A and B are shown apart, each in its own frame.
Chain A
């Protein structure tokens, strides 16, 4: 294996044990420090540095989780020793909770064609439930951290003493991309607004005329459009689940990328269905305009999916080569 691969694995392993906001900066610094050590030992051999030297340097840097623990603020509610476990547990619990909620919504909207009667209340319940569960998990872990930290650390130290750490045990760097948090949060916000408007306030999607001082509201969407609303709701709800999962995990992974591609394909299918089954608008005269717009969006979405698939395949091929 290339010496650089060991450095990547080490830096990645340290980053994984750090909170997201500190990760990028600390990773860059550790990488730079490792290169400084290597330069000093190999008289500037650069990329061609011997693998053995790299492993030796990493051995000196110590266990990634221990190094991460020293970078982290010493007093924290959930320290670096417990943080990876907390992240796994909270991901599983919150995803299951969200899945159960989503299943209920899908049954209501998809199977029984029930519109949301109280969408704000439903989302309020979901967010309240997620927050309450997350708060409970934080509390439990914080208590474990406070009362059992010493004991846990002693046990971990005793365990580690039995088996000296070897850099060769470092796991392979997963194909991963750090999510753009702002982008995901804005996406969630827009999807929630769309779900809310199309389900609870469809009358807002209308043209407003002022004639003789009187305001007249004319609905834009046809009655036929109502058939698509449950599917559009599902199309906007599933990406929220995906974004929440990516935010909790703190990274995009092959599975989540493929799920995103799957959702794009689902969106294309709905657009295609809309194109062939019109009318979508209440005004016949405007129907060709709507058809052209949807056709353009349909074409762009197909190109976008093709690009996403190409990028994902290339990323995975690169990973396989470096394995």
Chain B
């Protein structure tokens, strides 16, 4: 293997790390409205952010575990239960801070010549 070739697993890990934080931010931002797992996945997908089922659904649970989201079960069409998520008060405050942080990061990247349009 030459020094310039990309190790697929390293690349995969790097992109996954890069996307993890962004996915979290995107999920929190979309949960200002009541969402369930699939609707959220669809919404992110439509915006061009494809997050796999195996990543998104556990992420929702972790965010809930951290107190950023709240969830409740509701019965859909009188047939089966579905879990809905929404930002908690803490989540709302955290999201505002994270968005500020995001803007600062973008500004930094722009100054580095990375994120220029």
Contacts and interface: CB of A to CB of B under 8 A. Distances in A.
Contacts of B111: none
Interface residues of A, number: 19
A264 to B, nearest CB: 36
Contact of B54 (A35, A61, A73): A61
Contact of B82 (A36, A40, A62, A67): A36
A40 B38 contact: yes
A317 interface: no
* Interface footprint category on B: 10 to 19
Given A37-B53, A66-B54, A29 B83 contact: yes
By CB atoms of chain B within 10 A, which of A40, A66, A71, A157 has the most? A71
By CB atoms of chain A within 10 A, which of B9, B54, B55, B59 has the most? B54
B40 to A, nearest CB: 10
Contact of A70 (B9, B58, B81, B83): B58
Nearest to A73: B65
Contacts of B83: 28-29, 32
A30 interface: yes
Contacts of A61: 53-54
B114 to A, nearest CB: 29
A33 interface: yes
Contacts of B55: 70
Interface of A: 26, 28-30, 32-33, 35-37, 40, 60-62, 66-67, 70-71, 73, 157
